[in-house]
Amino acid sequence: MTTPSAAATKAAVLVEALPYIQRWQDRIVVVKYGGNALAGGGGRDALASFASDIVLLRSVGMHPVVVHGGGPQIAALLGRLGIGTEFVRGLRVTDAQTLDVVRMVLLGQVNPDLVAAINVHGPLAVGLSGADSRLLTTRAVDPALGFVGEVTAVNRTVLDQLLTQRLIPVVATIGADASGQAHNVNADTAAGAIAAAVGAEKLIYLTDVEGLRRDVGDPASVLSAVTADELSALVSDGTITAGMIPKVEACVRAVRGGVRQAHILDGRVLHALLLEVFTDQGVGTMITA
Ligand code: ADP
Ligand code: MG
């Protein structure tokens, strides 16, 4: 049986959430779920916990849009196939063969796994790629990177239609250029572009680190709040490296493009998303313009 004090704690938690529930009513929240958070220790539990958090956001009146990566899952299949891979400035060099693997993993494995985990709770999630309804139009970033695309346009129509129906879009970031050529788009960058295009209130990155560190090697150096200008300086001075670069650049662009707040949170912590959205406790790093 629940003791009175435990019940009081639960009531306090719900009451604390009330102003946030009211404030975020009908607002769009873009959540990027990193492949590393997905692959992290928690496994199926982490996926199920993420899925129920997303459903909770939707149930209290927010409009979540999920954008996902799949780096470790792509690396695993490339490894099994004996295909080598190389990164330049955090972007995977993508030849035709690698592009096939990227598409197989994102559209055949990661996206349907996320959709299925959410749909345990009801007929809620719809999986789509950037090629669907021309959600993400792309162009090649640099011939040296192969089929890596940058987003030139976001067509929000399909997202608006799904959100109007109170469905949860789950986006795999494969885009297509004007000729229909598929491109591998960095999921961090795509999430930022989508957040700005739909006028999201929040853009949240769930990754495998507690937040943005002032000193990469020091877990105690997590910055709780930082502005876009400060972030640009941290990229220039080498504080931010590897997979954090596209995240931070996307946060800067998104908050300058009208998104009120961007957050980098530890997706390995169960319910980090709920802590950020519904409590007074600051978790991870918050980025504002
Ligand atoms: P995801 O799958 O979430 O995109 P990434 O590995 O691409 O994950 O990016 C997160 C990683 O970025 C962290 O695990 C960390 O190794 C690296 N990183 C680089 N610079 C920093 C920094 N200043 N603070 C925190 N993490 C950083
Ligand atoms: Mg990454």
Which one of the ligands is nearest to 39 CA? 1
Q: In this predicted model, what pLDDT tens digit does every residue of 44-88 receive, in sequence order?
A: 788 999 999 999 999 999 999 999 999 999 999 999 999 998 888
Q: In this predicted model, what pLDDT tens digit does every residue of 94-146 receive, in sequence order?
A: 999 999 999 999 999 999 999 999 999 999 999 999 999 999 999 999 999 99
Whole-prediction pTM: 0.95
Q: In this predicted model, what pLDDT tens digit does every residue of 6-20 receive, in sequence order?
A: 999 999 989 999 999
State the pLDDT at residue 125: 98
DSSP 222: B
pLDDT at 2 over 90: no
pLDDT at 184 over 70: yes
Residues that are catalytic: 32, 35, 71, 188, 247
pLDDT at 272 over 60: yes
Ligand 2: distance of its center to the CA of 32 in Å? Answer: 10
pLDDT at 1 over 60: no
The residue behind tokens 């009175």 is: 4
State the pLDDT at residue 44: 72
Rounded distance, CA 289 to CA 286, Å? 10
pLDDT at 242 over 80: yes
State the pLDDT at residue 117: 96
- pLDDT tier for residue 282 given thresholds of 50, 70 and 90: confident
> Which ligand 1 atom sits closest to the C-alpha of 38?
2
Q: In this predicted model, what pLDDT tens digit does every residue of 17-28 receive, in sequence order?
A: 999 999 999 999
> Which ligand 1 atom sits closest to the C-alpha of 205?
3
State the pLDDT at residue 43: 65
